[in-house]
């Protein structure tokens, strides 16, 4: 009986080691090079920054040269369907699971409308809770621009807009960018993508164009999203 028990334990340990080896073999990795950022790496491997951070248990956007990052884990993807087919979204009180669904791409026409609407607003002063050309805050700017472009979204704060949108892998002009841990913990800022790593947003003083290549914005970048209202 003792020999049978020991043999069973040995078989279990062998199976476990084989399983672990299979996971390692199925994981695709990237070695961080000088100049790499989470945004750049996620864009290269067509995943979101959020997914890249989840795969590597990262709690910030800071990475180091020669650090090895998992950029794909096929075993996890095949066995944990429920986790890879959903994304956590923040509400004002708790983490809410939000399924990934198919939504239309932001059209070139909508992207052009948003550019045409927002460009003349450059220099408009920052006003807390502002939603008119007399002054905007970051979410008020999004509310104004999209409604003017024909996408009827309600007046929400950044977390509300975060919950009303879905992560995307291939951003186009007119899509949303979300940032975290700026003036408060968690989702705290939003902008509109202009292409070439640039975005327009309500900065601390006025409506301005900024770049994801900036160390500040890159460090706080959460990911690209698209409104479910886009049709």
- What class is the 2-84 domain? alpha beta
Q: What is the pLDDT of residues 195-229, one digit of tens each?
A: 999 999 999 999 999 999 999 999 999 999 999 88
Share of the chain residues as helix, strand and coil, in percent rounded to the nearest 5: 35, 25, 35
- What class is the 108-227 domain? alpha beta
Contacts of 215 (CB under 8 A, 6+ apart): none
Structure letter (DSSP) for residue 91:
-
So which residues are the catalytic ones? 138, 189, 201
Whole-structure pTM value: 0.63
Angle at 51 between CA 227 and CA 156, to 5 degrees: 30
Report domain extents, the chain. 2-84, 108-227
Q: What is the pLDDT of residues 4-46, one digit of tens each?
A: 444 444 444 444 443 434 333 456 889 988 878 887 887 778 7
- Between β-strands 135-136 and 131-132, what pairing exists: parallel, antiparallel or unpaired? antiparallel
Q: Give the C-alpha separation, 33 to 67, whole Å.
A: 8
Q: What is the pLDDT of residues 178-198, one digit of tens each?
A: 999 999 999 999 999 999 999
């Amino acid at each position: 009986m003792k020999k049978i028990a020991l043999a069973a334990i040995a078989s279990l340990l062998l199976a476990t080691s084989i399983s672990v080896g299979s996971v390692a073999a199925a994981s695709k990795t990237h070695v961080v090079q000088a100049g790499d950022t989470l945004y750049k790496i996620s864009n290269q491997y067509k995943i979101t920054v959020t997914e890249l951070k989840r795969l590597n248990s990262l709690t910030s956007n800071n990475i180091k040269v020669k650090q090895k990052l998992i950029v794909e884990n096929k075993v996890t993807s095949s066995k944990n369907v429920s986790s890879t087919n959903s994304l956590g979204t923040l509400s004002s009180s708790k983490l809410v699971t939000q399924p990934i669904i198919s939504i239309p791409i932001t059209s070139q026409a909508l992207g052009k409308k948003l550019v045409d609407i927002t460009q003349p607003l450059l220099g408009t002063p920052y006003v807390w809770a502002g939603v008119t050309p007399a002054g905007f805050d970051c979410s008020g700017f999004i509310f104004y621009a999209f409604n003017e472009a024909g996408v009827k979204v309600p007046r929400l704060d950044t977390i509300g807009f975060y919950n009303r949108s879905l992560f995307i892998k291939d951003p186009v002009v007119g899509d949303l960018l979300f940032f975290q841990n700026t003036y408060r913990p968690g989702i705290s800022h939003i902008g509109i993508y202009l292409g070439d790593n640039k975005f327009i947003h309500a900065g601390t003083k006025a409506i301005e164009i900024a770049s994801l290549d900036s160390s500040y914005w890159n460090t706080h970048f959460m990911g690209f999203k698209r409104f479910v209202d886009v049709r």
